[in-house]
Structure 1
Amino acid sequence: MKKYIGLLLMLFSLEATAQLHMKANLQTNHLWRGIEVADGLVITGDVNYSLCNGLFNLGFWGGTNTQGTYKEFNNHISFQYKGFSLALWDTYNFSTGATYNNKEFFNYKAHSTGRFLDAILNYYCGERFPLLISWSTIVFGRDRNKENTANKYSTFCYLEYPIYTKSRWHADAGIGGAFALNKAGSKTNFYGNTNGIVHVLLKVTFDWTLAKHTMPIHACMVWNPQADRAFFQLGIQLFNL
């Protein structure tokens, strides 16, 4: 009987510290690691549930554009402790015109799935030295070699640092490079045709307040030296509940 009471108390304590969150953003395109995933007006949203005062988090992320040509639905789970966080993103982009399998959401077969699993390890150094260090490796899915016999394990390494903070203004700069852990006779990876810098970021944010509700507005510039491309994005966070 005591065991059951203890289990109930533990479940109650978890529930007492659990929180449900929801947010949405509106932006002029969708940029991700040096890639313009979608153009046109894009709305993205996230619904997540945190446990143990934010130690664990699980949720769903989605995005679409006004043309209806971009559609994405992801599952994610993460663990955070002090400056460290470990996350797994199950990403499924089922946009029209995709060159991979975009019609089977529950297909988890390595040779034919249209999704990919992204394992992300982050470390935030702290307020005295607010550097974000990130290592991400695609551990499963549509990141295969030419023969479709093995995973490339494409990896994205990223550094980001706030270069300006004053009142409601913020500016951040970042740089990221990509390579494949399993080269399999080729230098190609998920992000480009060879190893190198694929993401250089400069992002300026203003915390706009409307009726006591903060709605950050940002301008984001991204350069991809490896692909010889550059992108500009304007966006606003509609709400964060």
Structure 2
Amino acid sequence: MKKQLLLIAILFCAVYTQAQEVFVNADFVSSYIWRGMDSGNASVQPSLGFNWKGLTVYAWGSTEFRHKNNEIDLSLEYEYKNLTLYANNYFTQTEDEPFKYFNYKAHSTGHTFEAGAGYMLCEKFPLSVSWYTTFAGNDYRENGKRAWSSYCELSYPFHIKGVDFALEAGFTPWEGMYSDKFNVVNAGLSASKELKITSTFSLPVFGKLIANPYEEQLYFVVGFSL
């Protein structure tokens, strides 16, 4: 484990020195809804990363204000023309399940590992189709077999009178963490806009109406970014 962490640190530093852009920001959200699933209450969600020749490496987190529920994700994205490849390591820790970060045992870890790909059709018709599949970590069915939990999403952005909108719809093809069979688990409309506070400072604000037809739930999330 120490050798693996050392190699990751060396790779991170090597790429960081060549980074074209380094970014750090944070979102504040009224609730944390992920792929149609209720994943937490009001939270702060910081991110830190960098871009280098189409490669984006970043860490993302979510911490609730009222409870000790945390998530820390490490992600890689590589973009080439209209194709984007994803590799994600999700780690969740709740008050009920206080997992240790460096425990990677399959049935007792708080980690899941996911690979995915997304493709945007074209600039004139920017419909994106993305597919993600969990391939390792704590992702098992009740019978003990690996679930290979998967999620597919279609997203279409558009712009009206100074506001950026996006429509999205997501489904899971089989039994896994999202549903017990094929189901539409996420349908949403989001809107975002920069709210001008002063002549030199604008605050990005956003809102999102989200429905989970499988769970028969409806959510409305608002937030802002710093």
* TM-score (normalizing by structure 2): 0.86
Paired amino acid for 1:59: Y
Distance 2:90 2:99 in 1: 14
The CA deviation string for residues 49-71 of structure 1, in whole angstroms up to 9 with x for no partner, is 2222xx11212111111103321
Query: Residue in 2 aligned with 1:197?
Result: 184
State the partner residue of 2:153: 158
Matched, 1:177 2:176: no
Q: Secondary structure at the match of 2:92?
A: coil
Identity over aligned pairs, percent: 22
Q: CA RMSD in A?
A: 2.1
CA distance in 2, matches of 1:215, 1:124: 28
Assess, with a 3 A threshold, how the Cα gap between structure 1 residues 112 and 36 changes in structure 2: closer, same or farther: same
How far apart, CA to CA, are the structure 1 residues paired with 2:59 and 2:117? 19
Which is further off, 214-223 or 85-94?
Answer: 214-223
Tell me: CA distance 1:14–1:24, structure 2 relative to 1, closer, same or farther (3 Å).
closer
Name the residue aligned to 1:5: none
Question: Structure 1: how far apart are the matches of 2:116 and 2:203?
Answer: 27
2:19–2:50 CA contact under 8 A, matched in 1: no
* AA in 2 matched with 1:28: S
Counterpart amino acid of 2:43? V
Deviation above 6 Å: which 4+ runs of structure 1?
none
Q: CA deviation at 1:93?
A: 0.8
Counterpart position of 1:97: 96
Question: In the TM superposition, what are the counterparts of 1:68-217 in structure 2 within 5 Å?
Answer: 68-98=67-97, 102-148=98-144, 150-163=145-158, 165-180=159-174, 188-211=175-198, 212-217=200-205
Indicate the residue corresponding to 2:36 in structure 1: 34
- CA–CA separation in structure 2 for the residues paired with 1:127 and 1:22: 28
Q: Provide the secondary structure at the position in 1 that maps to 2:132.
A: strand
Aligned equivalent of 1:184: none
Q: 1:159 to 1:13 in 2, by over 3 A?
A: closer
Aligned length in residues: 213
Does the alignment pair 1:236 with 2:220?
Answer: no
Which residue of structure 2 aligns with residue 51 of structure 1?
Answer: 52
- What runs of 5+ residues in structure 1 fail to find an aligned partner? 1-11, 181-187
Cα distance change on mapping 1:141 and 1:210 into 2, 3 Å: same
| Alignment deviations for residues 99-147 of structure 1 (CA, whole Å, 9 cap, x no partner) | xxx4221122223222101212111223201111110111111211213
C-alpha separation in 2, matches of 1:14 and 1:104: 28
* Rounded Cα–Cα distance in structure 1 between residues aligned with 2:35 and 2:16: 35
- Give the number of the structure whose alpha-carbon radius of gyration is greater: 1
With over 3 angstroms needed to count, the CA separation of the structure-2 counterparts of 1:215 and 1:77, relative to structure 1, is: same
Take 1:13 and 1:143, find their aligned partners in 2: how far apart are those partners? 31
Give the partner amino acid of 1:166.
I
